[in-house]
Amino acid sequence: MNPDEKIKYRRLYDGGLRWQQLADRINGDITTSYTKSQVRDMLKRVTVTQDAGNVGNGQEKRPTLVFGDVHLPFEHKHYLQFLKDTDRKYNCRELKVCTGDIADNHSISRHLSAHDNMGAKAEYDLTREKIKDYIEAFPCVKICKSNHDDIPYRQAQTIGLYQGFIKTINEAWGLPDTWKLSTEHIVDGVLYKHGVNCGGINGARATAIKEGTSTVIGHIHSHGGVHYAANTHSMLFGANAGCGIDVDAYAFEYGKGFKDKPTLGCVVVFNSHNAIFVPMNIDFYNNTY
């Protein structure tokens, strides 16, 4: 497959086609017999320098705002404003990336719920209402599949409920089609994933080295930051996007005794070898903003 064909099919993946669907499409177009794994390995790190709909308007040259682990409706009350301010400060492109856990789903988790929790329906209604503000602020988002967002689907699987009875995440939360869900995304050569099994203070960096490309994760609330690795030929980074939670919410009571506390903030990615972690300042963190 030549480079132009790789970019063409990479764009189809970024547009929502899954790896098996892409393999079927490629095999039909050019009469081959690629497997899903072969297509994934071949196209996973293909860099598309321009996003669909942004060709020629300079969007691809602007940085990307990355946020995650908002855990609605238990978010920090100033987190969205912080994201808007950061987006404006760095003149980020329209496309944003969310590393997942946009919702907490505390009331329906397999873990014990707080005895004074608001209940499943109230939590669902409040989450759906609050997410409207994020949709209004960021109409175009690539969101990563994640453990908290997947709670309803895992619970359904536990009782053997056929997936045809279950709403998609876009349907459940009223997300527009421009919020695209996938296990992972690649934007301009940077890999984005939630970060399950990528733990530890160096988890993002270790994941980037293993993947062979700069990588941004979420999931690990307490290790927001960017760490680099280099050899004589190239440099890459592993970034942890931190989180946007209300550390005093009952949903996070489990973490009160942890030595490492949540790092509230987000990541701004400038290109495939340069990114920064932007922490919420102390006024935000202490609810005095």
Q: CB–CB of 194/146 below 8 Å?
A: yes
Amino acid code (one letter) for 145: K
Task: Name which of 83, 194, 78 is nearest 135 in CA terms.
Answer: 83
| pLDDT of 113 over the 90 cut | no
- The residue with greater pLDDT, 45 or 274, is 274
φ/ψ of 152, rounded to 5, equals -60, -35
Q: What is the pTM of this model?
A: 0.77
pLDDT (average), residues 176-182:
95
Rounded to an integer, what distance in angstroms lies between the CA atom of residue 177 and that of residue 278? 28
| Residues forming a β-bridge with 72 | 103
Q: What per-residue confidence (pLDDT) applies to 55?
A: 39
| Cα–Cα separations (whole angstroms), residue 111 to 21, 108, 172, 252 | 35, 8, 21, 12
Highest averaged pLDDT of the listed ranges 11-15, 97-101, 209-213: 97-101
Q: Please name the residues in contact with 217: beta carbons below 8 A apart, sequence gap of 6 or more.
A: 99, 192, 193, 194, 195, 198, 203, 204, 207, 238, 239, 240, 241
**H/E element, 137:** helix 120-137
| pLDDT of 183 over the 70 cut | yes
Name the percent of the chain lying above pLDDT 70. 90
| Cα–Cα separations (whole angstroms), residue 285 to 71, 123, 279 | 16, 23, 9
pLDDT, tens digit, 9 for 90 and up, residues 241-254: 999 999 989 888 88
Q: Over the chain, what is the mean pLDDT?
A: 88
DSSP code for 105: -
Q: What per-residue confidence (pLDDT) applies to 56?
A: 41
What is the maximum alpha-carbon separation in the chain? 62
pLDDT, tens digit, 9 for 90 and up, residues 37-70: 888 888 877 765 444 334 344 555 799 999 999 9
Domain with CATH 3.60.21 in the chain: 59-285
Q: Would you call 193 helix, strand, or coil by DSSP?
A: strand
User: Which value, in Å, is the radius of gyration of the alpha carbons in the chain?
Assistant: 19
Task: Name which of 139, 81, 142, 75 is nearest 103 in CA terms.
Answer: 75
Rounded to an integer, what distance in angstroms lies between the CA atom of residue 99 and that of residue 266? 10
Dihedral over Cα of 219, 222, 225, 228: its sign: negative
Q: What per-residue confidence (pLDDT) applies to 20?
A: 85
- Domain 59-285 belongs to what topology? Purple Acid Phosphatase; chain A, domain 2 (3.60.21)
Of 3-7, 99-103, 105-109, 206-210, the range with the lowest mean pLDDT is 3-7
